[in-house]
Structures are given as structure tokens and as C-alpha cells.
């Protein structure tokens, strides 16, 4: 769609409703890509698509959820384009390998966190981004929207197109996986004593 085909009202709605959330879109894109240039491109593509689709946004619904849906689809489209040499890329193929520990083994270090809030506060954003990047794609998206963007679970379920119960389960499992990953980082930095991982 050419810029001249956008009517003034559509542009004004975009400026008043979507544009103020551009920092949210960019922040989420950074969590997904871990590269500033890629994040900026992804965020820009998302905002352009939002501008062009403003006439489909329904007043009274959540703009952040709407933008996150566009961001997710744009991100998936970019991953598919990057893997175009594959015969066909399914959504399952876009999932990252689970971090260690696996989803089924998550939470093994929970008993070792003496002061988890104090320890978590010591991590810089980059370390948390790195830990989240190691999580499976569906878990990472869930934690980004629930914990980083503070979106209601019902809205997150709509963005990710899954039942709300799935979001609740992913959030619980993902937080345990993230805690384990950060605990390993804390051990590497000498903040806590190294504890051998329990055998599976």
C-alpha cells in the first residue's frame, strides 16, 4: 500500500494509539533478536504494518496486544524468509531447542535461591535477555508478554492463539527454566556456590 493511500484519519489514529507504544515494540524486538539493528528493522516493519492496518483495529480493544500480534507474525515471517531454502518451514521448526535444564526438569535449583529477589536484581538486562534467548520460542514469547510487558494472560492467549490455560502453564514452566538459567549464571560469576545439577 502506497503512503498516499492512507487517509488522514487512519494516520491520526496510528499517531494517537499505536505510536506511543513504539518503545514497547522495540524492547520486545530486542528480546527476540538480541541485535539492535535487527530489532530496529523488526520494530519498524511492525509499526509500518500497524499503520497500514489501522482501519482494522477495533476501538475499545487492547492496542498493545494488537501490536504484539503483528510483531509476532512479522517475526515469524522473517524467520521463514531466512529459511526459505528449506522445502517448507512449519511453526514447530521455528522453536528453539530447550535450554538446559529442559522444560520437564526445570526448577531443580529453586531450593538453592536463598534471596532470589536480591540475586535477580544483580543481573543486568543483557544477562536476562541472554537467559531468555535460550528458552524455547513459545516459552520466551509467553514470558515476554506476561512478565516483561505485564499483559493479562487472556490477552497473551489471544496474541499467541492458544488457550489461556496454556499461557498459565507456560508461564509457570518458563519462570522455572529462567530461574535455573540465571542460577547457573550466578554460579559462573561466583555469586553463589556451585551446586551440581540433579541427575535426570
- What average pLDDT does the segment 81-107 reach? 50
**Integer Cα distance of 106 and 175 in angstroms:** 9
Over the stretch 109-123, which tens digit does the pLDDT of each residue have? 666 656 656 666 778
Q: Is the pLDDT of residue 7 over 90?
A: no
- The answer to whether domain 96-188 has CATH 1.10.10.10 is yes
In the chain, where are the structural domains located?
3-92, 96-188
Region label for 60, one of left (φ > 0), alpha (ψ between -120 and 50) or beta (otherwise): left
Over the stretch 161-180, which tens digit does the pLDDT of each residue have? 999 999 999 999 998 888 88
DSSP helix/strand/coil, 199: coil
CATH code of the domain occupying 3-92: 1.10.1740.10
What's the whole-model pTM score?
A: 0.69
Amino acid at each position: 500500500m502506497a503512503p498516499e493511500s492512507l487517509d488522514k484519519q487512519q494516520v491520526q489514529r496510528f499517531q494517537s494509539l499505536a505510536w506511543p507504544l513504539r518503545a514497547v515494540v522495540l524492547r520486545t524486538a530486542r528480546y527476540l533478536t538480541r541485535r539492535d539493528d535487527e530489532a530496529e528493522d523488526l520494530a519498524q516493519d511492525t509499526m509500518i504494518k500497524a499503520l497500514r492496518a489501522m482501519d482494522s483495529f477495533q476501538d475499545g480493544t487492547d492496542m498493545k496486544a494488537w501490536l504484539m500480534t503483528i510483531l509476532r507474525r512479522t517475526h515469524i515471517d522473517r524467520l521463514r524468509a531466512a529459511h526459505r531454502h528449506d522445502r517448507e518451514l512449519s511453526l514447530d521448526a521455528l522453536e528453539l531447542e530447550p535450554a538446559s535444564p529442559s522444560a520437564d526438569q526445570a526448577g531443580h535449583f529453586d531450593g538453592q535461591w536463598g534471596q532470589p529477589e536480591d540475586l535477580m536484581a544483580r543481573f543486568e538486562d543483557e544477562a536476562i535477555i541472554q537467559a531468555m534467548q535460550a528458552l524455547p520460542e513459545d516459552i520466551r514469547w509467553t514470558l515476554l508478554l506476561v512478565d516483561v510487558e505485564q499483559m493479562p494472560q487472556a490477552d497473551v492467549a489471544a496474541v499467541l492463539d492458544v488457550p489461556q490455560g496454556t499461557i498459565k502453564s507456560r508461564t509457570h514452566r518458563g519462570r522455572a527454566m529462567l530461574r535455573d538459567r540465571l542460577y547457573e549464571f550466578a554460579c559462573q560469576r561466583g555469586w553463589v556456590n556451585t551446586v551440581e545439577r540433579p541427575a535426570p
